[in-house]
Chain A
C-alpha cells in the first residue's frame, strides 16, 4: 500500500500537524519508504496467532476507587503557556 498527496494531507489533519503545500511531496516519499519497508509483514503466516497485549504476562492491578491525590490546581497549571485562575486558556470554541 502507498499513500498519495491527498492521503498525506488527511493524515496530517488527523494528527493535527500543519503541513504546507510544498512539504507534501517529501512527506509522501518518506511515508511510502516506511510503508514499503513494513510491507514484508504480509509474508508472515499469522493465522490463529493472538495479537500481543501485554509483553510480560501480568494482569493489571486494581486499586480502591478512592481519590488519593490532587488538590493542587496551581501546580497542574504552572507550566501552561496561558492560564488564568488555574484554568487553561484556549481560543473561543463555542460561538
Chain B
C-alpha cells in the first residue's frame, strides 16, 4: 500500500481513472503514512481522517459513475491559512484558538469542486511570517531531508513548511500553500519539491487568512512540474468575492508542460550574483543556463538595477499591511480572549498572549512605519521603490525576455534553532532575497529542484515570468526538471 503514496499526482489520477485502486485505498495509505510520520515531522496540525474517508467514498462513487472531476479522489494537504468550513483554521497561531470557520475559501472550494480529498491542515509559520517554519504555535516542522551522515534535524523553509515537508515525505499527493515573499518557492527549494506562486490575481484570496494583501498569493507545492500545473489549474479562476481577482480565462497549464523552450529568450540578472554566494549555487545556476540553451533557448544577461532594494522595501510594505490586517484579532469576534480590567486591557493582553514573537515584531514595525510623521519617510517611499522594482521587470520583458532564471535560495536547508538567525531577524529575512522581488512586482515565479549540495541536500532554481504567463514557467521548469534528471526522494528515517 505504501507504494501508492509515492505516485505522482498525475499517476495517481490516472490509476484512479483506470480503476487500478480506489480513492479510499489511496486515502487510507496516506492517512497511515501521516500517522507514522507526523510525530517526527510535525507537518500536519490537524488530521481530518474521517472527513477524508468520507470524501474518498464520494469520489469513488463519481469515478464509477464516470463523472470524475479533474482531481477526483486525489488526497491533498491544506495549509492552515485556508479557511475550511468546520475544520481547524488557525494560521498556526494561538490567537485563533479553536477557530472553525463557517465558510470555505474559494481556492479549497475549487479543489473540492474538482473532486479532491482533504487529508488535513498543514503546519506553517504563524500567520505566514517566517522562512523556517519555526514561528508556528504548533512547533517547528522538520525537513524530511537530512545531510549525509548526519542525524541533525533541518528546517523545511517557510512559511509553507508543512506543505513542503508533507509533499516531500509522501504525506499527500500535493498541497496548497501561499507566498507573500517566497513562502511557496523557498520551502519547495529546501525540500526538493516544485512550488509556483502565480501572478497576483490568478488565485482568489477570499477565505485565505490575510498577511499582506497586496503581496499574498496562493499556489501549489507538488512533487513534479506537471503535478504543480494540474493543481494550479484547479486552484485558479476569477472570483467576484476578491476585488483583486483577475477576470481572465484559466489556461490549460498542464498542456504547456511539455512545450519546451525552443526560441525563448531567458534573462539572467547580474544583480542576483551576490557576494559570498556558495559556489554550489553559482554552479547550479550555470548548469540551468546550459540546460535551457541545449533545448534551444537563447540566454542573455540582463540588469534589474533595483533588486537590492526589494527586501528592505518588503520589510516596510509587508509589516504595514500586516499591522492593519491583524488588527481584527482582538479577543472579541473569534479566537483567544484574555480578560482584563477594561476593554483596552483585554485587547492588549489577548494580543500579547495570542501572537508569537515574530508576529508581534512585525505588527510593531508596521504600526511604526504607518504612524504619524513616519508614513511618508517609510511607507510612501517603499511603495515608490516598489514601482521602480516593477519597472525593472517591465523593461526587460519589453526588451524581448520571456522568462528570468535565478537561484531560488541563497543556501540549502539549515538547522532548526540556528543561532545566528535567532540572534538577528534580518539574517532570517535574507532567505527570501531571490524570491521577494517577484511578490513586489506581482509576477509569477516557480521553484524547481535542480541539484544537490555537497551534503546531498536539494537546491532549487527559480524562473520568473511575465504577468499571467505561468505557462512559460511550467514549460521551462519542466526542461530544468528533465535535464537535472534527479529523483528528489529523501531517505526515509522517520
Q: Which residues of A contact B (CB under 8 A)?
A: 1, 3, 7-8, 11-19, 27, 30-31, 33-35, 37-42, 44, 46, 49-56, 58, 60-61, 63, 72, 75-76, 78-82, 88, 90-93
Nearest-CB residue, chain A, relative to B427: A33
Interface centre among A1, A34, A78, A80 (most CB of B within 10 A): A34
CB distance from B488 to the nearest CB of A (A): 32
Q: Are B387 and A56 in contact (CB under 8 A)?
A: no
> Could you list 10 examples of A-B contacts with CB < 8 Å?
A16-B348, A38-B313, A40-B309, A44-B309, A52-B387, A54-B214, A55-B441, A79-B334, A79-B335, A90-B343
How far is it, in angstroms, between the C-alpha of A36 and the C-alpha of B98 when the chains are bound?
38
- Please provide the 10 A-B residue pairs with the shortest distance between their CB atoms, ordered closest to farther: A55-B442, A51-B383, A79-B334, A18-B348, A18-B352, A81-B337, A46-B384, A38-B312, A15-B367, A52-B386
The smallest C-beta distance from B426 to any residue of chain A, in angstroms, reads 5
Q: What residues on B are CB-neighbors of A8 within 8 Å?
A: 364
Q: B355 near A: Cβ within 8 Å?
A: yes
Interface segment out of the listed B111-119, B254-262, B374-382: B374-382
Q: Kindly list chain B residues whose C-beta atoms are within 8 Å of the C-beta of A18.
A: 348-349, 351-352
B100 within 8 A of A: yes
Q: How far is the CA of A31 from the CA of B374 in the complex (A)?
A: 15
* CB–CB B323/A46 < 8 A: no
- The closest CB in chain B to the CB of A15 belongs to B367
Interface residue SS majority, chain B: helix
Give the chain B neighbours of A15 by CB distance below 8 A.
Answer: 323, 351, 360, 363-364, 367
Residues A11 and B364 in contact, CB atoms below 8 Å apart: yes
CB distance from B90 to the nearest CB of A (A): 11
Number of contacting residues on B, CB 8 A? 75
Q: A46-B385, A46-B388 are in contact. Are A14 and B467 (CB under 8 A)?
A: no
Contact of B390 among A3, A13, A55 (CB under 8 A): A55
Give the distance in Å from the alpha carbon of A92 to the alpha carbon of B344 in the complex: 11
Among the 9-residue stretches B275-283, B325-333, B474-482, the one with 4 or more Cβ atoms under 8 Å from chain A is B325-333
Q: Which residues of A contact B429 (CB under 8 A)?
A: 37
A93 to B341, CA, bound (A): 11
B337 touching A82 by the CB < 8 A rule? yes
Of A13, A41, A81, A90, the contact of B335 (CB 8 Å cutoff): A81
Of the candidates A13, A49, A76, which one forms a contact with B388 in the assembled complex, judged by CB atoms under 8 Å apart?
Answer: A49
CA–CA, A44 to B244, complex, Å? 29
Contact A17 B387 (CB under 8 A): no
Q: Which chain A positions have C-beta within 8 A of B381?
A: 41-42, 44, 46
CA distance A71 to B442 in the complex (A): 36
Residues on B with C-beta less than 8 A from A30 are: 361, 425
| Known A33-B425, A34-B365, A38-B315: A51·B380 in contact at CB below 8 Å | yes
B347 within 8 A of A: yes
- Determine the distance from Cα of A81 to Cα of B442 in the docked complex, in whole angstroms: 37
The residues of B that contact A51 with a CB separation of less than 8 Å are: 380, 383-384, 386-387
Residues of chain B in range 386-436 having any CB-CB distance to chain A below 8 Å: 386-388, 390, 424-426, 429
Residues of chain A within 8 A of B99, CB atoms compared:
79
Residues of A within 8 Å of B101, CB to CB, are 79
Are A56 and B442 closer than 8 Å at their CB atoms?
yes
Alpha-carbon distance A45/B240, docked complex (angstroms)? 38
Shortest CB-to-CB span from B214 to chain A, Å, is: 6
Most buried by B among A16, A78, A79, A82: A16
Please indicate the chain B residues that have their CB under 8 angstroms from the CB of A91 in the complex: 339-343, 345-346
Instruction: Determine the distance from Cα of A42 to Cα of B347 in the docked complex, in whole angstroms.
Output: 35
Evaluate whether A49 and B387 lie within 8 angstroms (CB atoms) in the complex, with A33-B426, A91-B342 already known.
yes
Decide: A37 near B426, CB < 8 A? Known: A16-B348, A18-B352, A51-B387: yes
B67 at the binding interface (Cβ < 8 Å): no
Closest to B99 in A: A79
Contact between chains at A81 and B384 (CB < 8 Å): no
